Structure 1
Amino acid sequence: METSELLKKVRKIEIKTRGLSRNIFAGEYHSAFKGRGMAFSEVREYQFGDDIRNIDWNVTARYNHPYVKIFEEERELTVMLLIDVSGSREFGTFEKMKKNVITEISAILSFSAIQNNDKIGVLFFSDTIEKFIPPKKGKSHILRIIRELIDFQPKNTGTDITGAVRYLTNAIKKRSTAFIISDFMDENPDLEMALSIANNKHDVVALKVYDEREKELPPIGMVKLKDAETGKYIWVDSSSRKIRKIYSDFWNKHISRLDTMFKKCGVDYVSIDTKEDYVKSLMTLFKKRAVKQ
């Protein structure tokens, strides 16, 4: 993509998503993703009812009077975006492809993070780790992320979410909030274990982006379908009720498997349809998390 065209797209995404994150998500993001650590703040004289485990014995000995340590929540977070750049993200039958929705959601989360003084990093993955951008702060860093979201060209087309989750666990030492943004069309049985391990170390959130035509096949006769990840084509008779039922049954089993897996792993999860308003879905997720805090 030419530089001038890319800059126009970056600016368009920036204007839209920065406004959303500032005007809509600011409070919800802060409430939903609080810092989980506790940092030492100051000492004060012991008061009746204080936890004796917080007594600062050095200060107590110096003043010959009990003092306790005061802790406050560490507000700063490290946010990681694990972004699926496999071939299936190019699918879309309405106004937007999955890729476009993933880009906008990622940009919103990036601006929300920076407005809360959080660091943010990105991991692009297909069936390999395509690119890792270490967590940093600053507007220039966010704009670099948006440029990559728009213009990044992956080497591979397959999907390996398990490998990306394991990379997160090993590469990010400090506890982070990690958003996995994918269509989750990966049936690897090892994903559940990888998610459980990652969610014990980090706070993992799953955002599934899908297109309505992945749920059900319309009766429009013979259709040539392409697997975006393998490049293989297949002809399907969509006028057949049996074929359409097989198609929808596969989707229902896929969603049921994901629901079960995320619940077992303790991972918060939301599905986002490309033709629907993703703002509503994200707000629902954020408010649900805020209640749980």
Structure 2
Amino acid sequence: MQTPTPDSVYPSLEHLVQLRALARGFRLRPHMPLHNILLGQHAARMRGRGLDFEELRHYRPGDDVRYMDWKVTRRLGKPHIRVYNEERERPTILALDLRVSMFFGSRKSMKSVVAAEAAALLGWYSLSVGDRVGAVLATDPDIRHFVPRRSTAHVNFILANICEQARQLEVGTPPDAGRLNQMLTRLQHLARHDAQVCVISDFHGADTETAALLQAIARHNDLLLVFVFDPLELHLPQEARLPVTDGRVQISVDGRSSALREKYEAAFNSRLQRARDLLLGWGVPVLALSTERPAAQQLRAILRQR
């Protein structure tokens, strides 16, 4: 385990604002082939930005015949083509999980820090392409939401709230089992149609209701899921005495026990399989981010402009 630094335990607003420069190379492509050690090879499709009808005009040599308006052409006796422009903006809504299960990390950063970095990068990217940016933040005490707006000040305001909520995380806080689904319910009301929706979470406690809510959101929006994990959740270290605490009680476990290691890894694999079954079966992109590296390095490797 690496020695923690202040920015690795709690996100800082200065750092999240500085990530704006690193978001310029991102690109959410209509076809996103995702290769991930956790989630396997998964080719997902996103709608991408749509097209707005601009005008109807005479056909010119070199125009794309796929946009020929045959009804008008027959009626007027001359070839006419429909001209479209790419949509100028649409809402992007960031749904960020800041429950106590995210306040964990055995490598470079806490899961909550990686999640905050991912939210900042996706938010800055969306603003750079002219989209409005909104957010839903879930903590164990409550849920906050921010209607989409297109301004640097608004993104800064969202990031400041993320930092404020993340700094209230502490070991020993009683978890709220239903908070994830409550966040998604709020998100469903905020993202009614044609939005880019990014859900960033460790999906701890996800169930069939979680899947139903995500499917309902994906039906009318572009949905991107960011699964945040820590390597310690994958494998238990082979050490004689491992201290384990929930913030109130501490015990020691024997990491050399093969039976214990098998149960530990089976529990995480079961959770991962539920994620595959609930989420990947219907074509939603899932990006997995580890606490081992900054979110910018990992997202740039996946979303960099080619």
- What TM-score do the two structures reach when normalised by structure 1? 0.79
Question: Out of 287, 298, 304, which is 1:270 matched to?
Answer: 287
Question: Out of 79, 84, 100, which is 2:97 matched to?
Answer: 84
Deviation of 1:150 after TM superposition, in Å, equals 1.0
Paired residues, number? 272
The answer on whether the counterparts of 1:183 and 1:209 sit within 8 Å (CA) in structure 2 is yes
Residue identity in the other structure for 1:273: S
CA distances 1:25-55 after superposition (whole Å, capped 9, x unpaired): 2xx2477777543312122025795544673
Give the match for residue 39 of structure 2: none
Deviation of 1:259 after TM superposition, in Å, equals 1.9
Give the match for residue 145 of structure 1: 158
Alpha-carbon distance in 1 for matches of 2:210, 2:141? 15
Deviation of 1:176 after TM superposition, in Å, equals 0.7
| Higher RCO structure, 1 or 2 (CA under 8 Å, sep 6+) | 2
Deviation of 1:277 after TM superposition, in Å, equals 4.5
Q: Aligned pair 1:18/2:36, yes or no?
A: no
Question: Out of 137, 146, 168, which is 1:133 matched to?
Answer: 146
CA distances 1:242-278 after superposition (whole Å, capped 9, x unpaired): 1011101111222122123222232100111101343
Q: Helix, strand or coil for the counterpart of 1:190?
A: helix
1:119-198 equivalence runs, <5 A:
119-126=132-139, 130-152=143-165, 153=168, 157-159=175-177, 160-198=179-217
Q: Aligned pair 1:43/2:56, yes or no?
A: yes
Give the match for residue 105 of structure 1: 118
Give the match for residue 252 of structure 1: 269
Alpha-carbon distance in 1 for matches of 2:294, 2:15? 18
Give the match for residue 4 of structure 1: none
Alpha-carbon distance in 1 for matches of 2:302, 2:160? 27
More helix by share: 1
Residue identity in the other structure for 2:298: S
The answer on whether the counterparts of 1:101 and 1:274 sit within 8 Å (CA) in structure 2 is yes
The answer on whether the counterparts of 2:147 and 2:190 sit within 8 Å (CA) in structure 1 is no
Q: Helix, strand or coil for the counterpart of 2:256?
A: coil
Residue identity in the other structure for 2:287: V
The answer on whether the counterparts of 1:44 and 1:70 sit within 8 Å (CA) in structure 2 is yes
1:79–1:233 distance in 2 versus 1, CA, 3 Å: farther
Q: Which moved more, 1:235-244 or 1:278-287?
A: 278-287
Give the match for residue 300 of structure 2: 283
Give the gaps of 5 or more residues in structure 1: 1-7
Give the gaps of 5 or more residues in structure 2: 1-10, 33-45
Q: Helix, strand or coil for the counterpart of 2:287?
A: strand
The answer on whether the counterparts of 1:81 and 1:178 sit within 8 Å (CA) in structure 2 is yes
1:240–1:92 distance in 2 versus 1, CA, 3 Å: same
The answer on whether the counterparts of 1:128 and 1:156 sit within 8 Å (CA) in structure 2 is no
- What TM-score do the two structures reach when normalised by structure 2? 0.76
Alpha-carbon distance in 2 for matches of 1:156, 1:77? 37
Give the match for residue 38 of structure 2: none
Alpha-carbon distance in 2 for matches of 1:53, 1:165? 44
Q: Which moved more, 1:78-87 or 1:143-152?
A: 143-152
Q: CA RMSD in A?
A: 3.2
1:268–1:35 distance in 2 versus 1, CA, 3 Å: closer
1:139–1:47 distance in 2 versus 1, CA, 3 Å: closer
1:11–1:245 distance in 2 versus 1, CA, 3 Å: same
Residue identity in the other structure for 1:85: L
1:87–1:134 distance in 2 versus 1, CA, 3 Å: same
Deviation of 1:189 after TM superposition, in Å, equals 2.1
What fraction of aligned residue pairs are identical, expressed as a percent? 22
Give the match for residue 216 of structure 1: 235
1:205–1:217 distance in 2 versus 1, CA, 3 Å: same
Alpha-carbon distance in 2 for matches of 1:194, 1:217? 33
1:178–1:156 distance in 2 versus 1, CA, 3 Å: farther
Alpha-carbon distance in 1 for matches of 2:131, 2:189? 21
